Amino acid sequence: MSAVQTENLNVTAFDHMPSPDEIKARVPLTDRAAEVVVAGRRALTNILDRQDPRLFVVVGPCSIHDPVAGLDYAARLKALSDEVADVLLPVMRVYFEKPRTSTGWKGFINDPFMDDSFRIDVGMEKARRFLLDVCELGLPTATEALDPIAPQYYGDLVAWTAIGARTSESQTHREMASGLSTPVGFKNATDGDLDVAINAIISAAHPHSFLGINSQGQSAITRTRGNPYGHLVLRGGGGRPNYDTVSISLAEKALAKAGLPGNIVIDCSHANSWKQPDYQPLVMRDVMHQIREGNRSVVGLMIESHLVEGNQPIPADLSQLVYGCSVTDACVGWETTVAMIRDAAAVLREVSAARHHQTTAPVG
């Protein structure tokens, strides 16, 4: 054996991480939560299959950093969801992982105490508990799959998954998506390119074999059957939005050319709103106008929303954090969220008879 060390030269430690089974034993799936997850997934797949004329709306904080404020938000959203359930399916945005261009807070799982202690073991358990609490309220949840191992810890509590603009091109994430138990929305690339997301949808629909972990935390060859419910999320990019009628028409044609269903979700935030929360209602209003005028390809919307409008830096003294205000991207406030969703519901009630009549097979 060589005396020269050639591996782990830049690794300082390997700390113990509980297995998925261990975390699930501490925070077990309840019957109530399982019913909500299954019902949410079924509703989403029915929307994508055009068996349900409603639109789904993935709405919630850019990221979860305070579970108390997050559950406060969830309780309000559940009441609003019940009010609009005839035409909309609200799904709470519960994002724990934040991709970073360079540095910054990577999210609740990575650093739950927001103090650079990086207690991922604690963060994972807290994240699972939060998802369970939201499901217990009766709300289906949505998250972004960033770490390919994380879904083994909490995927049983998620109804819808996003693959972000920076990772739609990643083979690792396409393979992971092929095995997820949820419908998966692939975002167009940050430069606005659609091909990345369309190729991802095609790839994820096929079986794959790749290196992963099993529920005991052991390395395993993961073999998947393929996910038939991949769909396109338009989030803008390349210096311009792409929610307008021309952009959506081009996306419809690109999906049809690829032989894919014409299922499109519009992200009202990110490049579509120039990351300005005040523009999110304008984006949604424009899309609802297109639906009123007969658009059939838009099946869902995404809104970044919290209790308090805007965002805030993470202070050294965490007691100074503003309750219910995002620490990542700026969000619309709760009052604006209510108005956006109620206005959308009003439009959909106007056209619900026509949409129900057209509910047959997916466009494309």
Handedness of CA 122, 125, 127, 130 (dihedral sign): negative
pLDDT on residue 98: 78
In degrees rounded to 5, what are phi and psi of residue 122? Answer: -70, -45
Q: How many CB atoms within 10 Å of residue 203?
A: 20
- C-alpha 136/C-alpha 130 separation (Å) is 10
CB–CB of 144/185 below 8 Å?
no
Q: Which two tokens stand for residue 361?
A: 């097979």
pLDDT, one tens digit per residue, over 165-218 is 999 999 999 999 999 999 999 999 999 999 999 999 999 999 999 999 999 999
Q: Which two tokens stand for residue 99?
A: 């991709």
pTM higher than 0.85, yes or no?
yes
Domains and CATH numbers, the chain: 20-357 (3.20.20.70)
pLDDT, one tens digit per residue, over 310-322 is 999 999 999 999 9
- Which helix (H) or strand (E) segment holds residue 266: the answer is strand 264-267
Mean pLDDT of 338-358: 87
pLDDT, one tens digit per residue, over 56-65 is 999 999 999 9
Handedness of CA 349, 354, 360, 364 (dihedral sign): negative
- C-alpha 22/C-alpha 215 separation (Å) is 9
Mean pLDDT of 252-256: 98
